[in-house]
A and B are shown apart, each in its own frame.
Chain A
Amino acid sequence: MAAELEELLGFLSSPSPPVKKAAVDIIRDYTGSEDGLQMLGKCCGVLLPSLSRLLAEKKEVSEPAAEALVNLSQNSDLAKKMVDTGVVETAMEILYKENCEITGLLVMLLVNLTQLDAGIDSLLQSGDEKMKGLYIMKLVRSFCTSSSERRGDPFEHVASVLVNISKKEAGRKLLLDPRRGLLKQIIRQFDSVSPLRKKGVSGTIRNCCFEAESQLQNLLLISEFLWPALLLPVAGNKIYSEQDASKMPLELASALSIEREPVADPDIRVQALEAIYLLVLQEAGRRAFWSVNGPRILQVGYEDEGHPKVMEAYEQIGALLLQESSSGD
């Protein structure tokens, strides 16, 4: 078996296109099964660079190569090897070549690679002073200017990349940097109909709120986008009264004064509430929350909530607000 495998790997660099195609298709099929993955994992030293090289070629070869890499990258050891051999950089390079035909797959690959710290560092380009953040800026721009209307929505999975990189402080700092304006662009995608985009944006905001202690101003200064994204999912289903709405800023008031679709995914509702909790822990965050009539919105939203985990998240904020106001805020 080993010898055949070696031969197969050799065919990946064959000068004959049909041979190469056949080989990479077989490899891709192997990566679809547990056994196959195990077997291939043993010769990753040769396999990974070969597949990586194929990404730059025509679709008939690059597509199965990308699919194989996506499957292989679900194993963290293999993912680490890929990061170490510069697959992140390769993926970004090919992604932004003209007429890239495997966009969606490359983005999915980045999602898997950014499960690792090393992958995040590579994508953030933390080591490079001049280029720092350039990859992320490109991805965010693509994410925000493409839409789910395009066939397949190839940049949809950037949403998950953003959630991953926002797990690290360096990633959060980059997204929150007011001079780059990345978070502002990202939040607007919350209105998207794509559940993946919505969830990714929600998760990213929640993660970024962990910087509330040191970077509250970078969150609050995009309030006009932030509060709607955080409060609409947890505002319940009713239309708000004129009295309640008059105490809110315009964009929030108008959104809550009409019929709207509830946000079905309870995880998104929990994430929104967790983000609010983090903001409200800070004094200025509390103040801003009160100034948009936030507590009233949560009160109304809670009335319509049935999911236990979400209810708990509402209650946590309620308790915090009560505690802070009684201690003479």
Chain B
Amino acid sequence: MPLFRSEEMTLCQLFLQSEAAYACVAELGELGLAQFRDLNPDVSAFQRKFVNEVRRCDEMERKLRYLEKEIKRDDIPILDTGENPEAPQPREMIDLEAAFEKLENELREVNQNSEALKKNFLELTELKHILRKTQTFFDERESLMETESMTRALIPEDVTSRQVVAPHNLGFVAGVILRERLPAFERMLWRACRGNVFLRQAEIDAALEDPVTGDQVYKSVFIIFFQGDQLKTRVKKICEGFRATLYPCPETPAERREMAIGVMTRIEDLNTVLGQTQDHRHRVLVAAAKNIKNWFVKVRKIKSIYHTLNLFNLDVTQKCLIAECWIPVTDMETIQMSLRRGTERSGSSVPPILNRMMTREVPPTYNRTNKFTAGFQNLVDAYGVATYREVNPASFTIVSFPFLFSMMFGDAGHGLLMTLFALWMVIKEKPLAAKKIQSEIWVICFAGRYIMLLMGVFSIYAGFIYNDVFSKGVNIFGSGYKVNLTDEELKHHHSAMLVPDEANGHYRQTPYPFGVDPIWMMAENKIPYLNAYKMKISIIFGVVHMGFGVILGIWNHRYFGRSMNILVEFIPQIIFLVFLFGYLCILMFIKWTKYYAGAEDQTLTPGCAPSILITFIGMVLFKYDTVPLDGCDNYMYPGQVTLQKVMIIVAVLVVPILLFGKPILFKIEMNKSKNHAALHNQNGTAEGEDVEVAGVPQTDGHEGGDEPHEFSDVMIHQAIHTIEYVLGSVSHTASYLRLWALSLAHSQLSEVLWLMVLRKGLMFQDWYGGVLLYFIFAAWAALTVSILVLMEGLSAFLHTLRLHWVEFQSKFYAGAGYLFVPFSFENIMEVQPGEE
């Protein structure tokens, strides 16, 4: 049966002809069933045979990434058809390289051109603004000169003659500077030129695009008037320092107008050219976007093939490559076929050779899973990968995990919500998987969709057993209780208990057919009653689960040829578990069936029902002298004392067998092999054995796995195991009480939500009650989903996981294997997008 044990693996040697190697590895990659070993572990990555090809692939990937970045920058959608192109032949690689090179060069050229064009465009725009704004400055200067001429008449001749000279020799520079820099610029000018320069500035309203970064920046036009050459150089230097761009501005208005017209035409031309460049770039990118996913897949496949080829060994004749791989035995035929296909495709004549090799190394653990079982296998592997060929708990986890979860989650309403969500994920599997959503929480949730579906379905069942639907009970079959009290009696007492004995007539004398009677949901003593029930079933299911784990150990012992272990490990373990905790469960069943309200026999009335816990403690402590209550019997069945004493003694006696059994067997075997060797020596056979068998083979680690070879090792190992088992059985049994604890917490939380939120909403009268209820329901629903389904669900999931990993698996699971990681294109493609 698949999944009961991991698959049988064999180490194979593969001889491939050099020409065929590439194609064969490509075929094996598509198949995904072979794990290659590195035959050159001490060779560095740079010294391997195919390092050049890997480098070329890296180059191609870099070009593709550049292309992808450009495509994303322009917001062009990348087409993902989900198709899986085959790995291209080596000769195709050159074509691909050339294509990528051409695309990259074209793009780079286009980008450069557009950058230069944009720079030009910027300069022309700035010039345009300057020509417009400076018109006002010059007008002001004219008026300044006029005012000068007006004052001339008022001032005496000799004074003005000196002043007239000044305005005519005013030089100026015009330029553009970032607005933020303007105040500092002005201050610097003032200080450096001692206030002898005159600055006018005006803001450019429109934002301009910086060609390099593509940002929008705000700039201002300025014009500086100064006299003399020294000031001119100083001004120019300061402009350079503040990275203001200076433009030649003609003096006369006529020239300026001409220049303005010329600038406008040039700007228009530039715009057209810029538009065309962008169009061209867009077209190139759109064409590339169609194929880019395909190319990525192809390049990755080539690269992975060459990485794998690097693991191979080149044989002496340099003609063929030798590979070592682990493959599942059942798939040898399939692999042979794909190898033959690969050889045919490459056109080589020599068929590849696949040889099985005998080895003592431990093979990897391979469990063949489908999309349903994969989730459960992952849960098991997360704790530890199964040792090669040991019993795999995954197939049992498929049911036990959701079942134990449902015992803790037990609410049919919340279970329904969970089931619907999981059902949606399962039905819409393919489209959801194709979306490749990157959120990690979603990925985990989606991967566990089948687990969630089962958890939900079992929770609905548990919800009906516990009779809990969104914290309300449902009365499907009619309650077993009716009220047999007169109205007078009811009025006198604040509350009453409907004692279920036959005389009173409250109870039908047969229980509610399926699940907990709905009357308990309304009872004030619901919690003590349900507690007793839930604690008992937690222990019962705990003991069953653990017992199952111990029993699974039998198959491990038999498979690994340790049949004696069944006698010295399994039997003591199961006796200990059953005689102590199995008996505890039996006591529970006895109490359930024997004692009842209204019993004629006084000893069977509820007042005399013994506490199971006290009975158990008394049993372990050998305390049998307690005085029974009046009319009661201390014991539940005749012969109880003797039986209990016998069981405790046997259970205690079984512990030394568990402790010493295996080491003693080991010692016996050791002695046997020593005698065997001595016999051989006497007969004078091969001396080689002398050295090996004389004592105990100490350092040889190849003898069938990881069995210790010293008596002290075995003894210590077994002592640890015994202590773990004995102490563990007590603590693990108690640990299963979390099934009760979480179920109680869940039902209480959901009850609180009902009492405090939804019930209050339903109690409003009048029309506004409806409006309020609308909002209150929203709050109740949000809290239900977030706290009760999500948080409690996660919590119960975690506890179930712990119960499986620790309490169940410690009874039989070794988990010391390593995972089978085949060379598979599927796996590689899945991993890469996440890494990017």
Partners in one complex: no
